[in-house]
Amino acid sequence: MRKTWLIFSQAVTVAVAVLFVVATLKPDWLQRRAGSANPVPVLLPSEPVATNPGGAGVVTGAASYAAAAKRAAPAVVSIVTSKSASSRHPRGDDPWFRYFFGEQSPSPGGIGSGVIVSANGYVLTNNHVIDGMDGIEVALSDGRRAKAEVIGADPEADLAVLRIALDKLPVVAFGDSDALQVGDVVLAIGNPFGVGQTVTAGIVSALGRNSLGINTFENFIQTDAAINPGNSGGALVDAAGSLMGVNTAIYSRSGGNLGIGFAIPATTARQVMDALIRDGQVTRGWIGVEPRELTPEIAETFKLPATRGVLITGVLQGGPAGEAGLKPGDVVQRVGEERVDNTAQLLNAVAALKPKSKASLGVQRGERELELEVLVAQRPKQLQAQARDQ
CB 284 within 8 A of CB 390: no
As a whole number of angstroms, the distance between CA 173 and CA 170 comes to 10
As a whole number of angstroms, the distance between CA 309 and CA 317 comes to 22
Residue 108 pLDDT: 57
As annotated, the residues of the chain forming the CATH 2.30.42.10 domain(s) are 285-385
Beta-bridge mates of residue 348:
none
- Residues labelled as active-site residues: 128, 158, 232
As a whole number of angstroms, the distance between CA 24 and CA 29 comes to 11
Q: How many CB atoms lie within 10 A of CB 389?
A: 18
As a whole number of angstroms, the distance between CA 317 and CA 26 comes to 88
CB 86 within 8 A of CB 104: no
Q: How far apart are the first and last CA of the chain?
A: 105
As annotated, the residues of the chain forming the CATH 2.40.10.10 domain(s) are 67-163, 177-279
Q: How many CB atoms lie within 10 A of CB 372?
A: 18
CATH 2.30.42.10 fits 285-385, yes or no: yes
Cα-to-chain-centroid distance, residue 314 = 33
Q: For residue 103, what are the CA distances in angstroms to 81, 83, 95, 97, 143?
A: 22, 16, 10, 9, 36
Regions of the chain short of the pLDDT cut 50: 32-59, 97, 99-101, 104, 106-107, 384-390
Q: How many CA atoms lie within 13 A of 200 on its CB side?
A: 20
Cα-to-chain-centroid distance, residue 278 = 23
As a whole number of angstroms, the distance between CA 374 and CA 363 comes to 12
User: 187 in helix, strand or coil?
Assistant: strand
CB 291 within 8 A of CB 332: yes
**pTM beyond 0.75, yes or no:** no
As a whole number of angstroms, the distance between CA 135 and CA 330 comes to 48
User: What number of residues does the chain have?
Assistant: 390
Residue 251 pLDDT: 75
The architecture that CATH gives domain 177-279 is: Beta Barrel (2.40)
Query: One-letter amino acid identity for 260?
Result: I
Q: For residue 158, what are the CA distances in angstroms to 57, 119, 151, 161, 189?
A: 40, 23, 14, 11, 18
Which CATH class name applies to 67-163? Answer: mainly beta
Residue 215 pLDDT: 77
